[in-house]
Amino acid sequence: MNDVSTPEPRLAGKRIVITGGARGIGGAIASRFVAEGARVSILDRLAAEGAAHAASLGADFQEVDLLDPLDAERATQAAVDGLGGVDVLVNSAGILRFTPLLDLSVAEWNETFSINTRAMLTTMQVCARSMIAASAGGKMINLASMAAKKGGAGEGAYPASKAAVVGLTRQAALEWGVHGITANSLCPGYILTEMGAATRTQEKIDTWSAYSPLGRLGEPSDVASVALFLASSDSDYLTGQAINVTGGMVMH
């Protein structure tokens, strides 16, 4: 009789902070990470959904307004303190507004960058300070978008903000690598989440699916699987990268 042992969870004991973890890609990442043995703290503005999802996973939840730098710092620090430190930060929170450039207001530009990019800097600073103080390294995973590499019709400030995420992540990799901290960004393509659902028709889904050599759109679980690789020790020598999760729609 063969002795088949159960594989060790890939994130056993890891302390992980996830912004935008109430639903969508961030929610799927939270679920996958908990299933792999991680202790997770979810940050989100969606209090009811975030608290319910966290409770279902046995995770912590912190309500946060990422538009407010002080509240973003407070909530991130509370999450780190609640976990007793942090090994991995996943920045998944973001907004998408469809506004042509000629109609784009400064207020909308600033809001998009505040949530999609500036808030990442705040959460990264809080977590980096904790990681550096602990002298144990760490991992940062920032959600960008394939829009960072190819833009998107009518998406206004969104592609620019996601390109900035890629640049910010590379800078973190350069500055914090000496402390054993890796930083990578993920660039998902068309993923079937709540974001953009209001304007998504079956005709659009069929059209977008044809862009992929695989003939389908992505699911949140597709992104969560790549995030798991980045959070695990398998990616220890990978940093400063912007990894496509697009089903081949973008190959650079």
> Phi then psi for 61, rounded to 5 degrees?
-135, 135
pLDDT in tens, 126-148: 999 999 999 999 999 999 999 99
Residue 117 pLDDT grade (very low, low, confident, very high; cuts 50, 70, 90) = very high
pLDDT in tens, 214-233: 999 999 999 999 999 999 99
- Residue-level pLDDT at 204: 85
Average pLDDT for 61-88 = 98
Q: Which H or E run contains 109?
A: helix 106-113
52, two tokens: 């319910």
Count of alpha carbons within 13 angstroms of residue 20, beta-carbon side? 26
Least confident of 33-42, 94-103, 235-244: 94-103
Distance CA 110, CA 113 (A): 5
Distance CA 42, CA 35 (A): 15
- Residue-level pLDDT at 195: 66
Q: Is the pLDDT of residue 189 over 70?
A: yes
Average pLDDT for 31-44 = 98
146, two tokens: 């394939």
3-class SS at 7?
Answer: coil
Paired strand residues for 143? 186
Average pLDDT for 66-88 = 98
Residue type, 248: G
Nearest to 146, CA basis, from 21, 3, 252, 220 = 252
Portion of the chain with pLDDT greater than 90, in percent: 89
Average pLDDT for 176-184 = 98
> Phi then psi for 140, rounded to 5 degrees?
-125, 130
Instruction: Give how far the C-alpha of residue 113 lies from the chain's centroid of Cα atoms, to the nearest Å.
Output: 15
Q: Is the pLDDT of residue 200 over 90?
A: no
The helix/strand count (H/E) of the chain reads as 9, 7
Active site members? 158
Average pLDDT for 156-169 = 97
Which distant-in-sequence residues (6+ apart) come within 8 Å of 4 by Cβ?
none
Average pLDDT for 173-199 = 90
Q: What is the mean pLDDT of the chain?
A: 95
166, two tokens: 């890629």
Distance CA 125, CA 175 (A): 12
> Phi then psi for 13, rounded to 5 degrees?
80, -5
Domain 15-245 has CATH 3.40.50.10090: no
Average pLDDT for 172-176 = 98
Phi-psi region of 58 (alpha: psi -120 to 50; beta: other; left: phi over 0): left
Portion of the chain with pLDDT greater than 70, in percent: 97
pTM for this prediction: 0.95
Number of Cβ atoms within 10 Å of the Cβ of 132: 16
